Amino acid sequence: MTLSSLSSHELDFIDDDEFHEECGVVGIWTTQDAASLTALGLHALQHRGQEASGIVTYDGNQFHTHRGLGLVGEVFDDPRVIASLPGGMGIGHNRYATTGETQLRNVQPLYGDFEFGGFAVAHNGNLTNAQLLKQSLVRRGCLFQSSTDSEVFIHLIAISLYSNVIDRFIDAIKQVQGAYSLVALSKDMLIAARDPLGVRPLILGKLPYIQDENSWVVASETCALSSMGADFVRDIEPGEVIIIDHDGVRSIHPFADNTSSRFCIFEYVYFARPDSVIENKSVYMARKKIGAELAKESHVEADVVVPVPDSGVPAAIGYAEASNIPFELGIIRSHYIGRTFIEPTDQIRNLGVKLKHATNRAVINGKRVILIDDSIVRGTTSKKIVEMVRAAGAIEVHLRIASPPTQHSCFYGIDTPAEEKLLAHTHSIDEMCKLIGADSLGFVSADGLYRALQEDKRNNQNPQYCDACFTGDYPIPLTDHDMQLVKSK
Ligand code: SF4
């Protein structure tokens, strides 16, 4: 079966054609209600993972845990659940399963009882040497309870010969490779850490309305702070470990010689919520600027600029402003289609029900349309949308993409298909355009993307971001993946 042979009806139902977000983490250090605050933060980070959610709190005597499959609102819908999580310190996690199947035992935060007391960890990112570490840990007698890569942190901390929690934690993170933004909770402290290249975001905030001055929040994105009424303090730096305890906040840099940021450029394009601010850059404004660069680089005469909602919207506004072509909502997205939507019967399938998107004929009919989307993964969604826009009366459909062609898989915590399933890996832009059925197809260049983010241009000697899914330049070794390749030869 080829892409070009599929009808749009069939395309509605075949496998997902989107990148999937990684995970979201929250940590709270205050005097009360850590569980409610953590749940509010996780709710704001729902876009980073929708398959499972969990919270661990500590009340000064013991740890309390609740984890479940589903959205935050489903897992914590019963007030008795939050009431069963007392304490002023807590961490939470939203999961999209990048490794390990979605089962309750894989839902984070992970918790272990150590000789120094309880310890819970929540991880956003993906480790690239987890399998290698796991093999050696299993040989040493460690019993893994889950299939998630994050569990190696628990075992590395458990077997560390250092005597205190912080030294054990640092000992563990020095052995892992990959992307991680971590929050961890012991009975004495909240710990937050980013990998040496800071691939995934992590920020520090403060709870101004709580009388105790020593009330802190860590979270994946600033949008979580708004939902908790917290103030932004700063981004946690690449390679930085933050320790929050009864004496306040302190910062250590265990990788002092080896830190230069390679933040995931795709967070700006797609993953982060548009109202978040990362590295002092508004994600929304960055997306608008990417759209403006796209307009400069691949202008085409047209009557209307139409975003593919939701993530294409800010780039389409930027494109429309830069090209002086009117912006219109020509595609409406249904927000009520969940991942667990039951596959419809053939009868319904034949009705051609469009599950996710519907066209707004009033602004498309008889028009030359520029469609703006954030990325092309397998191309199935793009083909379907172009077909729908034509069916709504468009006389020309020009597809513009607010990222360079995605030619490579991500190994740092974003769920992407294998390389050979990425349309841009196997096809030229002209071939992609033909398969998708657009009149023309254009992508913003890597330099255009860097310019939009206020960097001069991509510099191979010193790239400021991880952009490996466009360039194949992986900044962190892919140890497990390379071992797999060697084995399969
Ligand atoms: S490979 Fe792509 S998606 Fe993955 S971290 Fe790098 S830029 Fe982000």
Strands (E), 385-435: 396-401
Number of the ligand 1 atom closest to the C-alpha atom of 19 = 3
Other Cβ atoms within 10 Å of 359 Cβ, number = 22
Give the chain's length. 489
First to last CA, the chain: 28
264 part of the active site: no
Instruction: Report the separation in Å between the CA atom of 469 and the middle of ligand 1, taken as the mean of its atom positions.
Output: 5
Residue 305 has pLDDT above 90, yes or no: yes
Number of the ligand 1 atom closest to the C-alpha atom of 179 = 5
Question: What is the three-class DSSP state of 489?
Answer: coil
Six-digit token pair at 474? Answer: 């992986």
Residue of the CA atom closest to atom 5 of ligand 1: 264
CA nearest neighbour of 309 among 204, 389, 193, 232: 389
Instruction: Report the separation in Å between the CA atom of 473 and the middle of ligand 1, taken as the mean of its atom positions.
Output: 10
Q: Which of 31-35, 109-113, 216-220, 361-365 has the lowest mean pLDDT?
A: 31-35
Q: How confident is the model at residue 101 (pLDDT cuts 50, 70, 90)?
A: low
Residue of the CA atom closest to atom 8 of ligand 1: 264
- Does the beta carbon of 467 lie inside 6 Å of ligand 1? yes
189-208 b/e (C-beta count within 10 Å ≥ 16 → b): bbbbbbbbbbbbbbbbbbbe
Most informative mutation of 19, 410, 474 for ligand 1 (most atoms within 8 A of CB): 410
Residue 258 has pLDDT above 70, yes or no: no
Residue 99 has pLDDT above 70, yes or no: no
- Does the beta carbon of 264 lie inside 6 Å of ligand 1? yes
CA nearest neighbour of 219 among 169, 211, 172, 231: 231
Residue of the CA atom closest to atom 4 of ligand 1: 410
Predicted local confidence at residue 484, as pLDDT? 82
Residue 103 has pLDDT above 90, yes or no: no
Instruction: Report the separation in Å between the CA atom of 460 and the middle of ligand 1, taken as the mean of its atom positions.
Output: 16
Q: Where in the chain is the domain with CATH 3.40.50.2020?
A: 285-453
H or E element that contains 24: strand 23-29
Instruction: State which amino acid sits at residue 265.
Output: I
Predicted local confidence at residue 5, as pLDDT? 42
Residue 482 has pLDDT above 60, yes or no: yes
Number of the ligand 1 atom closest to the C-alpha atom of 409 = 1
Instruction: Report the separation in Å between the CA atom of 411 and the middle of ligand 1, taken as the mean of its atom positions.
Output: 7
- Does the beta carbon of 422 lie inside 6 Å of ligand 1? no
What is the CATH code of the structural domain delimited by 285-453? 3.40.50.2020
Reported as a single tens digit per residue, the pLDDT across 404-449 is 999 999 999 988 888 999 999 999 999 999 999 999 999 999 999 9
Instruction: Report the separation in Å between the CA atom of 267 and the middle of ligand 1, taken as the mean of its atom positions.
Output: 8
H or E element that contains 208: none
Instruction: Report the separation in Å between the CA atom of 29 and the middle of ligand 1, taken as the mean of its atom positions.
Output: 31
Q: Where in the chain is the domain with CATH 3.60.20.10?
A: 23-261
Residue 8 has pLDDT above 70, yes or no: no
d(CA 439, CA 101): 40
Is residue 255 within 8 Å of 193, Cβ to Cβ?
Answer: no
Predicted local confidence at residue 350, as pLDDT? 43
Strand partners, 415: 20
Predicted local confidence at residue 134, as pLDDT? 94
- Does the beta carbon of 377 lie inside 6 Å of ligand 1? no
- Does the beta carbon of 271 lie inside 6 Å of ligand 1? no
Six-digit token pair at 359? Answer: 């066209």
Taking residues 6-22, report their average pLDDT: 48
Number of the ligand 1 atom closest to the C-alpha atom of 199 = 5
Predicted local confidence at residue 448, as pLDDT? 94
Instruction: Report the separation in Å between the CA atom of 268 and the middle of ligand 1, taken as the mean of its atom positions.
Output: 11
Residue 69 has pLDDT above 50, yes or no: yes
Instruction: Report the separation in Å between the CA atom of 166 and the middle of ligand 1, taken as the mean of its atom positions.
Output: 29
Reported as a single tens digit per residue, the pLDDT across 146-203 is 888 899 999 999 999 999 999 999 999 999 999 999 999 999 999 999 999 999 999 9
Predicted local confidence at residue 252, as pLDDT? 95
- Does the beta carbon of 468 lie inside 6 Å of ligand 1? yes
- Does the beta carbon of 199 lie inside 6 Å of ligand 1? yes
- Does the beta carbon of 266 lie inside 6 Å of ligand 1? yes
- Does the beta carbon of 193 lie inside 6 Å of ligand 1? no
- Does the beta carbon of 202 lie inside 6 Å of ligand 1? no
CA nearest neighbour of 59 among 31, 81, 78: 31
Q: Which of 65-79, 400-414, 472-486 has the lowest mean pLDDT?
A: 472-486
Taking residues 124-151, report their average pLDDT: 93
- Does the beta carbon of 388 lie inside 6 Å of ligand 1? no
Is residue 134 within 8 Å of 86, Cβ to Cβ?
Answer: no
Between these two residues, 299 and 488, which has the higher pLDDT value?
Answer: 299
Reported as a single tens digit per residue, the pLDDT across 421-432 is 999 999 999 999
Taking residues 60-71, report their average pLDDT: 95
Reported as a single tens digit per residue, the pLDDT across 330-377 is 999 877 655 434 445 555 544 444 667 899 999 999 999 999 999 999
Mean pLDDT of the chain: 89
Reported as a single tens digit per residue, the pLDDT across 146-161 is 888 899 999 999 999 9
CATH superfamily of 23-261: Aminohydrolase, N-terminal nucleophile (Ntn) domain (3.60.20.10)
